Each structure stands twice: as structure tokens, then as C-alpha cells.
Amino acid sequence: METYPYEISISDKILDDLRERLEKTRWPEEELVKDWSQGVPLKYVREMCDYWLNQYNWRERETKLNQFDQFSTTVNECDIHFIHQRSPHEGATPLILSHGWPGSIVEFQKVIAPLTDPESFGGTANDAFHVVCPSLPGYGFSGKPPELGWGVEKIADTFVELMKGLGYERFGAQGGDWGSAITTAIGGRHPESCLGIHLNMVMRGKRPKGQDPTDEEQRALEAAAYYRDWDSGYSTQQGTRPQTLGYGLADSPSGQLAWILEKFWAWTDNDGSPEDALHRDEMLDNVMLYWATNSATSSARLYWESFRSLRPAQVEVPTGVACFPEEIIPPVRSWSESTYTDIRQWTKMPRGGHFAAFEQPDLFVEDVRSFFAQVR
């Protein structure tokens, strides 16, 4: 497998076009409620767009992202962009980190250094990882799949091929959101290559029938009902008509921002504002990886592909789960054990939400280290 060094470099033409579009935004009327129940409030989107236009500095953020060693290769006829940050410790454990939607490699930028160089961040050489962090096909700087069939299973198979091409015959895998589904598929479909998997979001398992729910199960059922009734519209749209949605998001930076910003509000551990959990620059870094690469449509297609074909595999490799309290649907261990048959670690976190590595990097790193120490 041939790999090529990669440096993020968004053209001035794209940045100039972004500024012009932000300056000429046609705004809708204000919402008719005093909260977020109709979507992101107009005032907040306008504030964020003004910040994006007048204070946010992409070139500085780009330089920060380029501190990591990045490469591009082709696997299964699709270009794959990835961070490959090797530890100074040769015996480090290879680990692939997989993001989801509306995430990107940006989510992991605060955990890569502690994972690869643990002695500089309170750990020991035994905690070290060689980190591989790819952009999903259709996301960020990876290529856009040119044909049908690029669902979770094919991405998982592609990532295993990527790891083997880098010389890692056995490795660990970690993920949340779609990254959790991909990581689960890696563990289920390729146990001979996978040391173990660590998840910060669990694919919902089976609830035993004929039993009254415990308090924990009731909370999960209520969260699932809320998600179904009030929080899953994006998923239905992306899973049924991603192309139609894409015309609006590809043409409007304010629209792309709002589409993602709503999830930073809904899915982080915050006190009413997403900025309680993430800085404006961090959120805009993530939005930029969708806007600058024009990947709103191609990223949404993962829903269309996977909702039609995803068949969760039973996972027999060692599994660790980090349960963050503001996850979309809190995981229930007894429901998960039918899919993950060898759960070695189940950590209930004191704080944090869906974007675990982004929101709570220290807790994330500590739990990843703790789990893989058991399975190396």
C-alpha cells in the first residue's frame, strides 16, 4: 500500500467564497419560541456567523491541525486521508480512532498527544499507542465514494485493510457515533486482527421481554423516545433523501453551521449553550471540515447506505465502554451483552456527552488507557 504525505491547505478561493457567502446571508425570520425547541435560535446563528466572518482565523486553525503527521492512500478504490501519529515508544499498541457525524478528525486533536506520548501527560510508556485517525470515506479530506455500497461494513473492512497496510496486523479500535458502528464491525468481522474495542456510544441492544424496567432502563427508554420524537429528524432526512438536503447545505455556510451546531447543543453536556462544552473555534473547526470540502451530501449518504444494510455483528473480542451521562441514549449493560459478549470494562463517567474525546479528553484518555492495559 502506497501512502503519501498530506498537508491540509484550503485554497484562498474557497475562503474568499466563504466570506462572500457569509456577508450575503439571507436570514429567515426569528423563531416563535424562547428556547431551542424550533431549532437553533436566529440570534445565536447570527452571532456565530459574525464570529466566523470577522474573528475566526482558519489559517491558524489549519496550522494547528497540521501539527499531526497526515497521509493519504487509496483503499478499495477510495482515497483515504488519515492522521498517523506514531509513539516514540516502539512497543506502543496500534489504535485506530473512528469519528462519526457530525464529527471529524478534529474531535480527536486533544487526545492524540496524550495517547502517543503518555509520559508527557501523566502516564507511563506502557500506556503508549501508535494512533491512526482516518477521515471516513465521504468526510473531510477523504475521497467521496464513487459508487454504492459504502456502508458501515465496507468502511470497517477498509479500515482493517488500512491498518494492515501500515504494518499493524493486530490493533485496537475505538469509536463513537458512526465510529462506534464501524468499530463494532471491526471487532465482529475481523476478530483475528482486533485486540479489543473501546466505545463511547453503544449500539442499542435487546431489552429482555416480560420484565418491568429498572430505573436505569427507564431512563434509557425515555431518552430513546425523546430522540425518536424530537431529535432524529436529521437522521430521517439523511437516511432517505441526502441528495435533496445537500443542495441547501452545499450552498449556504449559515445552513451548514446551523445543521451541525444544533447537535453540539443537543448532544453535549452543557448548561444551555454548546459553548459550555466546546469553544467557538473548536466547533467552527469541525464545521470547516464539512464546508471547505463540500462534504455535506457525501457524509449524509452514510445514513442512506447503512440504514438499509447494517446488520450488527456479534462481538466476541474484549470490549470496553465509557458511559458519558449526556450521551444521546444512555447505554444499559444488560441490553448490550447480547451483542458484546466479553465486556471487560464499563465506566460510568461523571460528566460529558456524545463527543467524548472533544468534550472530556482527560476522561477519555484515562479510560482508553485503562481498557487496553487489560488486553494488550
Residues 77 and 112 sit within 8 Å (Cβ to Cβ)? no
Q: What is the DSSP string of 167-181?
A: T-SSEEEEESTHHHH
Q: How confident is the model over 112-160, as pLDDT tens digits?
A: 999 999 999 999 999 999 999 999 999 999 999 999 999 999 999 999 9
pTM of the model: 0.97
CA distance 310 to 316: 18
Residues sharing a CB contact under 8 Å with residue 188, sequence separation 6 or more, in sequence order: 312, 313, 314, 315, 316
Sequence length of the chain is 376
Q: What average pLDDT does the segment 239-267 reach?
A: 98
Q: What is the pLDDT of residues 21-59, one digit of tens each?
A: 999 999 999 999 999 999 999 999 999 999 999 999 999
Q: How many structural domains comprise the chain? A: 1
- CATH number of the domain where residue 340 is located: 3.40.50.1820
Confidence at residue 265, expressed as pLDDT on a 0 to 100 scale: 98
- Strand 129-134, strand 171-175: pairing: unpaired
DSSP string, 105-117: GGGGTTTHHHHH-
How many of the other CB atoms lie within 10 Å of CB of 208? 10
43, 51, 220, 256, 281 from 21: Cα distances, Å:
18, 14, 41, 12, 19
Q: In what order do the strands lie in the sheet with 70-75?
A: 3-5, 70-75, 78-85, 129-134, 93-98, 171-175, 194-199, 319-323, 343-348
pLDDT confidence of residue 311: 74
pLDDT class of 308 with cuts at 50, 70, 90: confident
Instruction: With a cut of 80, say whether residue 206 has pLDDT above it.
Output: no
Partnered with residue 345 across adjacent β-strands are 320
Indicate whether 228 pLDDT > 90: yes
Q: Catalytic pick from 81, 99, 130, 354? A: 354
- Which residue is catalytic, options 177, 269, 285, 367? 177
* Model pLDDT for residues 153-198, shown as the tens digit of each residue: 999 999 999 999 999 999 999 999 999 999 999 999 999 999 999 9
Range of the domain at 243: 3-372
Residue given cell 457569509 in the structure block: 22
pLDDT above 80 (res 270): yes
Alpha helices by DSSP H, listed for the chain, are 12-23, 42-54, 58-65, 112-116, 152-165, 178-189, 215-226, 233-240, 242-251, 253-266, 280-291, 296-309, 333-336, 356-359, 361-372
**Of 347, 344, 363, whose CA–CA distance to 355 is shortest?**
363
- Which residues contact residue 130 at a Cβ distance below 8 angstroms, ignoring those fewer than 6 apart? 84, 85, 86, 87, 92, 93, 94, 95, 116, 168
Cell 432526512 found at:
237
Q: Is 303 a catalytic residue?
A: yes
Average pLDDT, the chain: 96
User: What is the CB neighbour count within 10 angstroms for residue 9?
Assistant: 9
Decide if 89 is catalytic.
no
Cβ(179)–Cβ(100) under 8 Å?
yes
* pLDDT level of residue 313 (50, 70, 90 thresholds): confident
pLDDT of residue 133: 98
Which residues lie closer than 8 Å to 341 by C-beta, 6 or more apart? 314, 315, 316
State the catalytic residue, choosing from 269, 303, 340, 367. Answer: 303
DSSP assignments along 313-346, one per residue = PPB-S-EEEEE-TBSSS---HHHHTTTBS-EEEE
Q: Examine the residue annotation and report whether 6 is marked as an active-site residue of this protein.
A: no
pLDDT (tens digit, 9 = 90+) per residue, 63-91?
A: 999 999 999 999 999 999 999 999 999 99
Query: What backbone phi and psi angles, to 5 degrees, belong to 158?
Result: -65, -40
Q: Which pairing describes strands 70-75 and 3-5: parallel, antiparallel, or unpaired?
A: antiparallel
What's the pLDDT at 10? 98
Contacts of 33 (CB under 8 A, 6+ apart): none
| Number of other residues whose CB lies within 10 A of the CB of residue 255 | 16
Mean predicted confidence (pLDDT) in 195-206: 89
Q: What is the pLDDT of residue 93?
A: 98
